[in-house]
């Protein structure tokens, strides 16, 4: 068997793509989520549809979009609407299956901070802020978070809750009455975390060659390990070829 070489970003993209289902309506962000969606569409999910917060429905980008409002998203799309329409008629109304999220910090219960490190009024590091993520995290049927696994990115509690995961666990999210089910998986370069029945992010899968100890070292809380812990399939030659030759030939993200 040939041993394939791939990097951490490719590993995250391939694993995120595999979580998408054929026929999903996906609210897409640029960068890694965009690559994951396009990979899924070219492999197991040809009927997946991409929705962009700029108000583009059914985008078929011919080139790698570098911003969330790239003109390539519009040419050949099925529909373009205002931002108010995309957030109300599509997201708030319940027409979005999947939201992709990232952030500077993800905590034990899948809450995300994309706003500030330190105090809000006197920020140590000021981050870009919510954008669409506050509503996507609440209202998409399911969410996936993609981020490299580092201790500083995985504190027990985020400095600021930009978007909701499972709050403090124990059914707190359900009590808020929001329609979406919350984060179903956090895909990192070491493995995949999934919420347990209490909403706590638990190690559910390791990537080939990664260890539980390695994940724990890079996580800011005592990490629970699922009884059904699995090892993910390494990226397949075809997945890597599509990523490298068709989707990001200039290597901007991968």
Partner 1 sequence: MSKLVSLSEAIHSSVHDGDLIYASGFTHLIPFAAGHEIIRQGFKDLTLARATPDLIYDQLVAAGCAGKVVFSYMGNPGVGSLRCMRAAIESGSLVWEEYSHFSMISRLQAGASGLPFMPMKQTGAGDLEAANPNYKRVKDPYTGEEVLVVPPLSPDIAIVHVQRADAEGNAHVWGILGEQREAAFAAKRVILTAEEIVDEAIIRSDPNRTLIPGLIVDAVCHVPHCAHPSYTQGYYDRDNDFYLAWDKISRDGKSVKAYLDEWVFGLKNRTEYWQKLGPEVHEKLKPEPLLSHPVDYGKY
Residues that bind partner 1 (CB under 8 A): 30-31, 53-56, 65-71, 73-75, 80-84, 87, 91-92, 111, 115, 120, 122-126, 128-135, 137-139, 160-164, 167, 173, 176-179
Nearer to partner 1, 6 or 160 (CB): 160
- Cβ 36 to partner 1 shortest distance, Å: 16
> Closest by alpha carbon to 133, among 93, 87, 200, 80?
87
CB of 44 to partner 1, least distance (A): 27
DSSP state of 151: G
111 token code pair: 């809450």
When the beta carbons of 38 and 232 are compared against partner 1, the nearer one is 38
Nearer to partner 1, 167 or 215 (CB): 167
Question: What SS3 state is found at 185?
Answer: strand
Identify whether 53 is a catalytic site residue: yes
CB of 242 to partner 1, least distance (A): 22
The number of CA neighbours under 13 Å toward the Cβ of 64 is 20
Considering the complex, state which of residue 177 and residue 222 has its C-beta at the smaller distance from partner 1. 177
Bin 118: left if φ > 0, else alpha if -120 < ψ < 50, else beta. Answer: left
- Which positions ≥6 away from 245 have C-beta within 8 Å? none
- Please, what is the minimum distance in Å from the beta carbon of residue 108 to partner 1? 16
- Determine the length of the chain: 254
Residues serving a catalytic function are: 53
């Amino acid at each position: 068997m040939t041993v394939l070489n791939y990097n951490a970003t490719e590993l995250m993209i391939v694993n995120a793509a595999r979580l998408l289902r054929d026929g999903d309506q996906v609210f897409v962000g640029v960068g890694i989520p965009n690559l994951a969606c396009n990979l899924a569409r070219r492999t197991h999910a040809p009927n997946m549809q991409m929705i962009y917060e700029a108000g583009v429905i059914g985008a078929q980008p011919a080139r790698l979009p570098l911003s969330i409002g790239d003109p390539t998203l519009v040419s050949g799309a099925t529909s373009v609407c205002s931002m108010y329409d995309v957030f109300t008629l599509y997201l708030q109304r319940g027409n979005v299956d999947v939201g992709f999220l990232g952030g500077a910090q993800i905590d034990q219960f899948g809450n995300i901070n994309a706003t500030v490190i330190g105090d809000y009024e006197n920020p140590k590091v000021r981050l870009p802020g919510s954008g669409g993520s506050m509503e996507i995290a609440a209202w998409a049927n399911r969410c996936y978070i993609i981020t490299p696994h580092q201790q500083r990115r995985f504190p027990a509690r985020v400095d600021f809750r930009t978007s909701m995961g499972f709050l403090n666990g124990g059914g707190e999210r359900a009590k808020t009455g929001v329609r979406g089910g919350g984060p179903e998986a956090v895909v990192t370069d070491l493995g995949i975390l999934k919420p347990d029945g209490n909403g706590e992010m638990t190690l559910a899968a390791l990537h080939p060659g990664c260890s539980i100890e390695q994940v724990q070292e890079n996580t800011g809380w005592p990490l629970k390990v699922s009884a059904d812990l699995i090892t993910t399939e390494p990226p397949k030659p075809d997945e890597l070829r599509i990523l490298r030759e068709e989707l990001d030939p200039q290597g901007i993200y991968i």
